[in-house]
């Protein structure tokens, strides 16, 4: 049987068993239950009726959270020529070419997002073993392989993030800091819901959304009724 700390056990007592909450109720409860000495992150955990072992049931996409994630995103860019100056002007934290590739191979990973231009993709192929397990390998589908560096850097710094199914068919997506306003968190959750619906894989059959839980970094998972979000008016 799983054991919980006294703090967490006391928190669980305040969550009604068998109840499915509205998204506003869940957020309000998690905000009220937070008792740690740092600002927790609100996360969505969505179980979908997909089996990612089939190519036509895989889900990997990006979403721009309108209110951001509350995190200072460090962006690295691998490119060459005039694009180096463009990346620096756009606010990239780390910019380089072959020398940056070598630094990454040696262990430099002080960034949250790596963007590359198409003309260096052959050069960074050898980074797959280092970056792949960490989800940092640039990909056209994730918007991290592009010639539009200024736009990409701006979007990722302002709240664009990638999400993908894990092996069990579940999405785990951060939605912002728990001290965001209710409306801001609702806007971010609504943007995620719209994106997941829009990117429904062609092989999806039957019920698409199986369940959705909201949780905080150190808090409990609370089931929510996704229809309460679809039916709500968030501005």
Please say which residue of 134, 158, 182 terminates a domain: 158
Q: Is 25 helix (H, G, I), strand (E, B) or coil?
A: helix
Full residue range of the structural domain in which residue 172 is found? 18-69+160-230
In this predicted structure, what is the pLDDT of residue 12? 63
Please say which residue of 138, 158, 178 terminates a domain: 158
| Dist CA 155 CA 22 (whole Å) | 30
| Residue 77 bridge partners (DSSP) | 95, 115
Judgement on whether residues 153 and 97 belong to the same structural domain of the protein: yes
CATH code of 220's domain:
3.30.190.20
pTM of the model: 0.81
In this predicted structure, what is the pLDDT of residue 15? 72
Please say which residue of 97, 126, 158 terminates a domain: 158
Percent of the chain exceeding pLDDT 90 equals 73
Q: Are 203 and 54 in contact (CB under 8 A)?
A: yes
Asked if residue 6 belongs to a domain, the reply is no
Is the pLDDT assigned to residue 232 strictly greater than 70? no
Is the pLDDT assigned to residue 19 strictly greater than 60? yes
The number of folded domains in the chain is: 2
Weakest-pLDDT range from 13-17, 27-31, 89-93:
13-17
* pLDDT band with cut points at 50, 70 and 90 for residue 218: confident
CATH code of 120's domain:
3.40.50.790
Is the pLDDT assigned to residue 1 strictly greater than 70? no
Tens digit of each residue's pLDDT (9 = 90 or more) over 32-45: 888 888 999 999 99
């Amino acid at each position: 049987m799983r054991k919980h700390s006294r703090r967490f056990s006391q928190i669980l007592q305040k969550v009604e068993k068998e109840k499915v909450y509205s998204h506003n109720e869940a957020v309000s409860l998690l905000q009220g239950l937070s008792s740690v000495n740092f600002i927790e992150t609100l996360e969505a955990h969505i179980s979908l009726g997909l089996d990612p072992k089939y190519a036509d049931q895989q889900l990997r996409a990006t979403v721009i959270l309108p209110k951001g994630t509350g995190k200072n995103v460090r962006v690295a860019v691998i490119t060459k020529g005039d694009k180096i100056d463009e990346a620096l002007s756009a606010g990239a934290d780390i910019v380089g070419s072959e020398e940056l590739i070598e630094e990454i191979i040696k262990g430099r990973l002080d960034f949250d997002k790596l963007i590359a231009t198409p003309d260096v993709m052959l050069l960074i192929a050898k980074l797959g073993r280092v970056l792949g397990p960490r989800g940092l390998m640039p990909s056209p589908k994730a918007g991290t392989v592009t010639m539009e560096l200024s736009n990409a850097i701006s979007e990722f710094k302002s709240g664009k993030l990638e999400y993908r199914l894990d092996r069990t068919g579940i999405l785990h997506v951060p939605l912002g800091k728990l001290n965001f306003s209710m409306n801001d968190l609702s806007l971010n959750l609504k943007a995620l819901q719209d994106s997941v619906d829009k990117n429904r894989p062609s092989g999806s059959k039957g019920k698409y959304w199986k369940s959705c839980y909201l949780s905080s970094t150190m808090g409990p998972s609370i089931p929510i009724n996704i229809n309460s979000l679809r039916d709500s008016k968030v501005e």
